[in-house]
Chain A
Amino acid sequence: MKKTVSLTLMLFALWLLWSGIYTFMITSFGVASVILCVWLAHRMNIVDSEGHPAHLALAHITYGPWLLWQIVLANIDVSKRVLSGNINPCWVRIKAPQKTPLGRVIYANSITLTPGTTTVQLSGDELLVHTIHREVGEDLARGAMASRVSKLEGQD
């Protein structure tokens, strides 16, 4: 029930941001479409902690900027490799330490979002990652990002 209320509020806030016209008729269309969307989401059974992970929103306030900084660093690194041609691709096989599937997906997505590392397979808790250079792969295997995501996941 809490999830439904928060989903409704979020969808309506989104609608208000998009619309820009706040007459009575247009806004009531908005209310109707929000109700339709929530009803559809209910029918699809996706209003749960996986489909609507509102409980992770607060934790993302610290994780987001950290990930952004990692992305900036990785971008500069990969750009240098583009110019110098100094690449040494390798596969990395690591275990995702997160408990829930949602945590693992966040971890795999974070890996892919960082240039220089691409998650190729995620089965169970095993990740197959392609990295652009052995150093990048060894850095990933040390697991700084994994422990960050575990912490993010634990804050629910």
Chain B
Amino acid sequence: MGGVVDILSWICIGGGLFFSLMGGIGLLRFPDFYARCHAAGITDTLGSILILSGLMLQTGIELNLARLILILLFLLFTSPVAGHAIARAAHQHGLEAQVDGEDVTDA
């Protein structure tokens, strides 16, 4: 294990922890449910990407690397679907969002 790779992996894990913490704080701070969805998205994406990349750098080339990549892929495939399902269920339930102004459209 080279020193540079080690340092790089700890930078990745530290960054991942930072973004996970941001997600956690956002989950507490944001005023309504839909805004909290975005905060949850931070942990789901960059938080896990960085922490798992840090672990990948610790691993080196072996079978566990493939496992870590698969965990990351599964997370990236499932988390938006789950997030969408929760937001859609809340919307269908009739949960109102705190929004200002009119809707933005592409027209």
Contacts and interface: CB of A to CB of B under 8 A. Distances in A.
Any A–B CB pair closer than 8 Å: yes
A92 B45 contact: no
A32 B27 CA distance: 45
Interface in A60-88: 68, 71-72, 75, 78-79, 81-83, 85, 87-88
A109 interface: yes
A112 B76 CA distance: 11
Interface string B59-96: 00001001100100000100111011001100100000
Given A18-B67, A82-B25, A83-B22, A75 B42 contact: yes
A91 B99 contact: yes
A112 B80 CA distance: 5
Contacts of A83: 22, 25
A134 to B, nearest CB: 7
A114 B67 CA distance: 24
Interface residues of B, number: 42
B26 interface: yes
B35 interface: yes
Given A78-B41, A130-B37, 18 more contacts: A82-B42, A87-B31, A89-B34, A90-B102, A91-B97, A92-B104, A93-B106, A94-B106, A109-B81, A109-B84, A112-B41, A113-B45, A116-B41, A117-B38, A119-B84, A120-B87, A121-B88, A140-B104
B99 A115 contact: no
Given A71-B46, A130-B97, A92 B103 contact: yes
Given A112-B83, A120-B91, A132 B104 contact: no
A61 to B, nearest CB: 14
A108 B23 CA distance: 22
Q: Is the interface on chain A under 10, 10 to 19, 20 to 34, or 35 or more residues?
A: 35 or more
B52 to A, nearest CB: 13
A141 B53 CA distance: 32
B51 interface: no
B3 interface: no
A94 B100 CA distance: 18
A141 B105 contact: yes
Contacts of A128: 91
Interface string A38-71: 0000000000000000000000000000001001
The 7 closest A-B pairs by CB, nearest first: A115-B41, A112-B80, A82-B26, A75-B46, A137-B104, A141-B106, A79-B22
